[in-house]
Amino acid sequence: MRTEGVLFVSVNRFVFRRIPFGGTAYLFGILIGIELAGRMAWAGSGGVPGSFLLWAESRDSISSEAGTPRKQNFSFSQQSPWPSLGHLPADFEPIEALVFSAGLLVRRDPELLLQMMEALQDHTTLVGLVNDTHQRRKVEKLLAERKILPRSLRLVEIAHNTVWIRDYGPIFFRFPDMHSGAYDAEYPDPGRRLDDAVPSRLAALFGVSLFALPMVLEGGNLLTNGHGLALTSQAAVIRHSGSTVSEASFRQLLSQHLGIDSLVILEPLAGEPTGHVDMFACFTGPDTVVVGQYDPREDPVNAAILDRNASVLAGCRTSAGPLRVVRIPMPPHRDGIWRTYTNVIFANHCLLVPTYPTMDPAGSRRALELYRRILPGWKVIGVDTSRLITIGGGLRCVSLGIPAPAPSGSLGANLRSGTGLAWLRLFQEIHTDPSGPGGFATAFGGSWDLFQAANR
């Protein structure tokens, strides 16, 4: 028979080695019945060290051929009409999880992956995406070689093309009653069709309603203070509908769908390829924004651009009063590499800041000191992104925070309630034929064991 949904079990070697197949089948029959009564379950990040979260998708849920994903029709996705306006959380607000591409980072920048996991493992649940079993094994091998076993790590098999999940991932928001929802913006890149399918799978993973956002909007080009004020760049307006679109229609779309009361459209950096606002700015609080600053002797054009942007922002008001603008010296880009100190990761009173120990050691130290000064009580950690920045992005670009819901929300409650359980999500067929291809996977002790259900 075919089961689709969430099954949860506490798994260990004793159960599956000692209980005969009949008992195991009976157990799964009960669990299937439980699953049919609900649509989502999550595991807590605390408990027994080495307990991983496993999510496995069937062979027919995601095509193995790059560029030909099959989007699943989840009963709670792509809803219409659009939701009543809620709350677009800021990066610095509490999160339940941080999502990133573990499978691609382990190949492109394994040291960065380790730094991120070590720094964040005690602050939030880490959800590492992998494309397939091969990538999953590479991540496991790296962790084993370095003797690192993050208790909060969950590996998730969701096909994707690139590490830039901030751009193609869903835009999370909260409804007026504070439960979470998400928007899936248009992503018209024919070479990244797997990326375009990720929002629906993450929405299903976290059990949130997903709505189509009828515009092109990359997450790297949207910042919010969490109180109705948002920043983007002129590049977002052009990216949405070409050079003919009006700023007024762009503002109307963001106000209508994302509840943005005040949208500030800034000048992008001249020559920086993404045009994204997070390459030169970030909010650190509802009334505080950090803006980059170039030495006019080094880059007079971009020094003037950032000065004008800072002046525009200084004239903005927030619910707490005038917006406070803090300037941060930008690292050099004489070699054509656009380094940044504002492309950061916030994770529950922990801030990861990109550093460049070889190219700009003094500037890296100043950046860390500045964030520690404006974020008292936060743990500020420098992460060497010298290699990542060469492929065009920073820490925020490769991560996506899942905002914390209200205390009574199902996502938050399930994340916090587990005590070291291993959880399964099955999108597959369970066969009674011992030679059949069906089966399921268990996760325990930091390792993944595969076995055929029909052979037990």
Per-residue pLDDT of the chain (456 residues; tens, 9 = 90+): 333 333 333 333 333 344 454 454 444 444 434 333 333 333 333 322 233 334 333 223 322 233 333 333 333 334 445 555 678 999 999 999 999 999 999 999 999 999 999 999 999 999 999 999 999 999 999 999 998 878 789 999 999 999 999 999 999 988 877 778 899 999 888 889 999 999 999 998 888 889 999 889 999 999 999 999 999 999 999 988 765 567 888 898 888 888 898 999 999 999 999 999 999 999 999 999 999 999 999 999 999 999 999 999 999 999 889 999 999 999 999 999 999 999 999 999 999 999 999 999 999 999 999 999 999 999 999 999 999 999 999 999 999 999 986 433 444 444 443 322 223 232 322 223 333 333 222 222 233 332 222 222
Count helices and strands (H / E) in the chain: 12, 23
Establish if 48 belongs to a structural domain: no
Distance from C-alpha of 344 to C-alpha of 382, rounded to nearest angstrom: 10
pLDDT attached to residue 425? 34
pTM: 0.76
Q: Do 130 and 139 meet the contact criterion of CB atoms below 8 Å apart?
A: yes
Q: Do 280 and 342 meet the contact criterion of CB atoms below 8 Å apart?
A: yes
Distance from C-alpha of 302 to C-alpha of 282, rounded to nearest angstrom: 17
Establish if 297 belongs to a structural domain: yes
For 358-410, the three-class secondary structure string (H helix, E strand, C coil) is: CCCHHHHHHHHHHHHHHCCCCEEEEEECCCHHHHCCCCHHHEEEEECCCCCCH
3-state secondary structure (DSSP) of residue 174: strand
Establish if 324 belongs to a structural domain: yes
Position 64, amino acid: S
Question: Range of 167's domain?
Answer: 95-403
Q: Do 95 and 347 meet the contact criterion of CB atoms below 8 Å apart?
A: yes
pLDDT attached to residue 400? 97
Q: What are phi and psi of 216, to 5 degrees?
A: -85, 120
Distance from C-alpha of 228 to C-alpha of 254, rounded to nearest angstrom: 11
Distance from C-alpha of 383 to C-alpha of 219, rounded to nearest angstrom: 21
Domain count for the chain, please give it.
1
Establish if 337 belongs to a structural domain: yes
Question: Regarding beta strands 209-216 and 180-186, do their DSSP bridges make them parallel or antiparallel, or are they unpaired?
Answer: parallel
Establish if 40 belongs to a structural domain: no
Residues recorded for the chain: 456
pLDDT attached to residue 437? 32
CATH code of 324's domain: 3.75.10.10
Using only C-alpha atoms, what is the Rg of the chain? 23
3-state secondary structure (DSSP) of residue 442: strand
Establish if 113 belongs to a structural domain: yes
Q: Which residues contact 92 (CB under 8 A, 6 or more apart)?
A: 226, 283, 284, 285, 346
What pairs with residue 78 in β-bridges?
none
Establish if 408 belongs to a structural domain: no
Looking up tokens 């010296």 gives 329
Distance from C-alpha of 202 to C-alpha of 401, rounded to nearest angstrom: 12
3-state secondary structure (DSSP) of residue 302: helix
Distance from C-alpha of 417 to C-alpha of 433, rounded to nearest angstrom: 37
Establish if 244 belongs to a structural domain: yes
pLDDT attached to residue 179? 78
Q: Characterize 219-241 residue by residue with b for buried, 16 or more Cβ atoms within 10 angstroms of its Cβ, and e for exposed.
A: bbbbbbbbbbbbbbbbbbbbbbe
Looking up tokens 């920043």 gives 231
3-state secondary structure (DSSP) of residue 439: coil
pLDDT attached to residue 326? 98
4 to each of 23, 129, 403, 415, 439, how far by Cα in Å?
A: 22, 20, 26, 21, 14
Distance from C-alpha of 100 to C-alpha of 133, rounded to nearest angstrom: 17
